[in-house]
Amino acid sequence: MGDQVSDKQAPKRSAVGRSVRSLDGPDRRILSELIRDARTSIRSLAERVHISRANAYARVDRLLADGVITGFSAQIAHERAGLRTSAYVSLSIEQNSWREVSSCLGRLPYVEHVSMLGADFDVLVLVRAPDNIALRDLVLDRIQAIPGVQTTRTWLVFDELQGPGADWS
């Protein structure tokens, strides 16, 4: 009986059958710190979360192994990188064409993010292009040519608020 795990302690199962552990306070604080600065050292992370370095290493390793942390990335100043035009493009697609449409979208230049939604439209795409001509060509020539895409609608982004603690200046 001493080797059994109670229901209260047992890991939850996800829809795909993998065990999913509940995140506790230190896990959530680690995630917040890494979102704020993914380059922070384990030593600094441990100090900010008020845990030992060994505990911080173990927790980050577990969060990676469990797929909670899927990678580390850089935040890009898109305009300085030559991507001066941003837009959201909504797509209405044929029923059951999501896999093919998303696969095609993933191969297009300037497509940063693709989401399938339950809304008045089916897909929302974040696009960052060098200029309006490249955006127009992408939407009118490439996205609308994807089999399964029925209609598109484009919203230009004038300004953005990015990241935790971001401020409109």
The mean-pLDDT minimum among 8-17, 89-98, 124-133 falls in 8-17
Max mean pLDDT among 18-32, 45-59, 61-75, 151-165 falls in 45-59
Q: Residue 30: which H helix or E strand, with range?
A: helix 25-36
Closest CA relative to residue 60, chosen from 81, 78, 38, 79: 38
Instruction: Report the share of the chain in percent with pLDDT over 90.
Output: 70
Instruction: Report the share of the chain in percent with pLDDT over 70.
Output: 83
**Is the model's pLDDT at 169 over the cut of 50?**
no
Which residue segments constitute the domains of the chain, with CATH numbers given? 24-75 (1.10.10.10), 85-157 (3.30.70.920)
* Cβ atoms of 102 and 111 closer than 8 Å: no
- Calpha distance 92→70 (Å, rounded): 29
The count of other CB atoms within 10 Å of the CB of residue 5 is: 8
DSSP character at residue 22:
P
pTM for the predicted model, two decimal places: 0.69
Strands (DSSP E) found in 1-99: 12-13, 19-20, 85-93
Number of H helices, E strands in the chain: 5, 6
- Calpha distance 3→10 (Å, rounded): 12
